[in-house]
Structure 1
Amino acid sequence: MMKEIKPIKVYILTGFLGAGKTTILNSLLSQLKNYRNIVIENEFGKVNIDAGLIAEKIDHLYELTSGCICCSLDNDLMEVLGSILRLETRPDHVFIETTGIADVGNIIGMFHIPDVKRHYSLASTICIADAENVFERLQQVPETGKQIACADVIIINKIKHLAVPQLIFLSQQLEQMNPLAYLTTSENGTVAFNTWQFPEKPLVPGITIPPVKSPHKVNTVLFESPAAFDLNMLMFVLDFHCNAYPDQLYRIKGYIRVTGSNDRLLVQSTGKYLSILPAGDWGEEVPKSTLVFIGKELKTATIQRILAPALKA
């Protein structure tokens, strides 16, 4: 009987230029020095000077300097993932440090392609936010909002010179932008994770006091309904809107009930990728559909209108 080969764990690091991605990566690699680690380093349009900072701490380093990996999914990055599988010894972890302008939704979608998913398991998408200028970046660069919205973990970096009230305000803002993410802080790029497992946030956003004014346009809409969805129609409307409005609808996550089934289904979308998979029964929980939508200037009424054709009484 052949031994089952476990998929290689993948961690994607995002964040705008200067946020501290390489420093955070160094911290994580130091904690995982007893494992086999591979880094895929992507820097857009120039020789990758960051690569020299991490080359001594890993088993292999792959550099992609010809362009942004989010724009060439079928080429450079796919070739690198294939090369890793041909190594004599499989790695334990693969870290992908993206360029600051990467549209991470497309990169995440790659790891849900069946052929890729057989060999790689996307463990976490980690966004590093520069505490001193993240709001400025959100206004200047749309990709910054997408990176925060798609993250499983948000690390607020460089908090040393931030006053406590400012840090609280920033934390509230980022949590409102992405209530699904685990939020933590770092003064100088050092982040400690005991077992390299991040706590999973509850699906429903916690109650927070909304700030008077939001210096960004990314927001969250929570949809709840006791009614069951028609599964085929729901897949159609969500897939259509994810592909038609990728610059406005960044992420969807939630559990739904559907007609003709007692199972709970997990809905996830990032970028143009959509997945609806079985997630066990409801147990003692009363079956209902709960979906969190994250995007730019989303309206509750609009989300309800989008979902209405898929709802059944």
Structure 2
Amino acid sequence: MERDNPIKVYIITGFLGAGKTTILNSLLQQFTGSRNIVIENEVGKVNIDAGLIDAKIDQLYELTGGCICCSLDNDLLEVLGNILGQEQRPDHVFIETTGIADAGNIIGMFHLPDVQRHYKLESTVCVVDAENIFERLQQAPETGKQVAAADVIIINKIQQLPVPQLVYLSQQLEQMNPLAFITTSETGTVSRKDLQFREKPFPGKEAVAPVKQPHKINTVLFESPIAFDLNMFVFVLDFYCNAYPDQLYRIKGYIRAYNSKEKMLVQSTGRYLHIVPAGEWEDANPSSTLVFIGRALKSATIQRMLAPAQKEKV
């Protein structure tokens, strides 16, 4: 399989009991007619969830006894390598993570050059339990990281939730991750169309939480016409992503590089930082725009963090 025809990858995350396996089954039923492989991860030595996947798949890999975001990361890379060695490669790979996985580190693996050559991460889906998501956010920091890293958030098990509470929950999740497409499900049924990439506009500075937040995860929007020294920018962000992974969950946006007409797409999840050219600026006076998602982030702190990398004063 050539680089221009990579294997499409979907990552399914969510805390324990959110309904990941049910969602996965729903999606697999809609991918019949294509060759699908599932990678199932479970912290325990026996993977019970693997027996619950009843949709038609061509092959199932079980990774047990640890989490693919940390202790089993090399095992995941080995599985991805084994898939490439198959005579008939799959069209899609679905990865269901453990409930306590740091999704950012798994996503980062698919930004590695050797992996990108053969795989394309289509979407990261986070399944949340409508009835207890706020409790989970308080109990486990991994839940917040999963929400922040998602391209699609599925609010599952909404049948018992009154409409005002569902609206409130949707608003809170959008405040936590304004980059994600949010949809709902009653019993774990979701359309494959919801996995399609949607480029959402960045939130404006006027965006505020509708009511007091029952969590500490927030979004900071950084905007500046001052150009960045690209090398220094990479150094600064790489340092902070590695130094504060439990506070800085995700970064996405475009920056203006000094002495360059190209805008640079910036993405970070977990400890992985990915910066690539994204075409020329359409504006005559371009401005860098970055969205930071994390725990108790402050605008002044972000500005102070980036200041050493800014090259040009206006």
Q: TM tier, shorter chain? A: over 0.9
Measure how far apart 1:200 and its partner are: 2.1
Q: Give the aligned length.
A: 312
Partner of 1:231: 230
User: Residue type matched to 1:19 in 2?
Assistant: A
Question: Which segments of structure 1 move beyond 4 Å, counting only runs of 4 or more?
Answer: 2-5, 205-209
Q: Judging changes above 3 Å, is the alpha-carbon distance between structure 1 residues 184 and 3 closer, same or farther for their aligned structure 2 residues?
A: closer
Partner of 2:176: 177
Secondary structure of the residue that 1:228 maps to in structure 2? coil
Partner of 1:68: 67
> 1:290-309 alignment to 2 at 5 Å?
290-309=289-308
Mapped pair 1:85 → 2:84: yes
Partner of 1:21: 20
> Using the alignment, how far apart are the partners of 1:306 and 1:284 within structure 2?
26
Could you tell which deviates more after superposition, 193-202 or 108-117? 193-202
TM-score, normalised with respect to structure 1: 0.95
> Using the alignment, how far apart are the partners of 2:133 and 2:205 within structure 1?
22
Measure how far apart 1:54 and its partner are: 1.5
> Using the alignment, how far apart are the partners of 2:225 and 2:34 within structure 1?
46
> Using the alignment, how far apart are the partners of 1:206 and 1:20 within structure 2?
34
Q: Judging changes above 3 Å, is the alpha-carbon distance between structure 1 residues 30 and 179 closer, same or farther for their aligned structure 2 residues?
A: same
Deviations 1:36-81 (A, max 9, x none): 1100001111411111121551000000112111113552111111
Tell me, which stretches of 5 or more residues in structure 1 are unaligned?
A: none
TM-score, normalised with respect to structure 2: 0.95
Deviations 1:239-294 (A, max 9, x none): 10001000000000011111111111111111111111110011246410000000
Deviations 1:209-249 (A, max 9, x none): 52332111110000001111111111111110001000000
> Using the alignment, how far apart are the partners of 1:269 and 1:253 within structure 2?
7
Could you tell which deviates more after superposition, 81-90 or 52-61? 52-61
> Using the alignment, how far apart are the partners of 2:6 and 2:49 within structure 1?
28
Measure how far apart 1:205 and its partner are: 5.0
Question: What percentage of aligned pairs have identical amino acids?
Answer: 73
Secondary structure of the residue that 1:171 maps to in structure 2? helix
Secondary structure of the residue that 2:171 maps to in structure 1? helix
Tell me, which stretches of 5 or more residues in structure 2 are unaligned?
A: none
User: Residue type matched to 1:101 in 2?
Assistant: I
Coordinate RMSD, CA, aligned: 1.7
Partner of 2:53: 54
- Determine if contact 1:9/1:122 at 8 Å carries over to the other structure: yes
Q: Judging changes above 3 Å, is the alpha-carbon distance between structure 1 residues 51 and 167 closer, same or farther for their aligned structure 2 residues?
A: same
Secondary structure of the residue that 2:192 maps to in structure 1? coil
> Using the alignment, how far apart are the partners of 2:69 and 2:309 within structure 1?
32
